[in-house]
A and B are shown apart, each in its own frame.
Chain A
Amino acid sequence: AQKVTQAQTEISVVEKEDVTLDCVYETRDTTYYLFWYKQPPSGELVFLIRRNSFDEQNEISGRYSWNFQKSTSSFNFTITASQVVDSAVYFCALSEGLIQGAQKLVFGQGTRLTINP
């Protein structure tokens, strides 16, 4: 069965610091997607990134970057020069299969990130 582990329950840093959120996953499938979502206090889920299992290329989007390593089953998320607006709960998620119908998302426990001014 698939499983997503976010070992860091809470992280608190001072503004402008870099912070990395860890995500480790388990799956028996060779084809899958990995996701990161942001959940601000208002509750909605904000999609950040999707990666498929065949694409290990790291990605950078502004202050956000993601490191996908299949060898360690990890998909870590780094925020550079953090800002107070980055404060939220961040979820890593996994969905198995790349064919239609296999889109159930399994979420990690989430990491509550607090950026202090």
Chain B
Amino acid sequence: GAVVSQHPSRVICKSGTSVKIECRSLDFQATTMFWYRQFPKQSLMLMATSNEGSKATYEQGVEKDKFLINHASLTLSTLTVTSAHPEDSSFYICSARTPQGDNQPQHFGDGTRLSIL
């Protein structure tokens, strides 16, 4: 079945560092990918919708200059957390929707646990 790969699975870094997270669709082309954030013991909140070849659509309250999204190909979207601070520590998870129509659910990556010291 369809698989979405997310890398890295865990990142620990110092405050001020920029961190890039990759989301790849392994056996299908994904024109649309989604980035979610999940704080401990909380729900998943959509951050942005990543569209191949165009600018990402950000949800209200999400800083586009802070969370840079690039969807340069049909199989790869990247989320860069720029100048990360401890409050950015969270679980980031991506998903991809297959383009064959609405019969396929979103396929989720395994998530990236980001810890900023």
Q: Is B105's CB under 8 angstroms from A91's CB?
A: no
Count of interface residues, chain B, beta-carbon cutoff 8 Å: 25
Q: Is B113's CB under 8 angstroms from A43's CB?
A: yes
A110 / chain B contacts, CB cutoff of 8 Å: 42-43
Q: Is A55 an interface residue (CB 8 A)?
A: no
Question: CB-defined interface of A14-51 with B at 8 Å, one 1/0 digit per residue?
Answer: 00000000000000000001010100001111010010
Q: Is A98's CB under 8 angstroms from B102's CB?
A: yes
Q: Is B32 an interface residue (CB 8 A)?
A: yes
The residue of chain A having its C-beta at the shortest distance from the C-beta of B46 within the complex is A104
Which of A43, A99, A103 lies in contact with B91, CB distance below 8 A?
A43
Q: Give the distance in Å from the alpha carbon of A61 to the alpha carbon of B109 in the complex.
A: 24
Q: Which residues 1-60 of B sit at the A interface, judged by CB distance below 8 A? A: 32, 34, 36, 41-46, 49
Interface of B toward A, CB cutoff 8 Å:
32, 34, 36, 41-46, 49, 91, 93, 95, 97, 99, 101-102, 105-111, 113
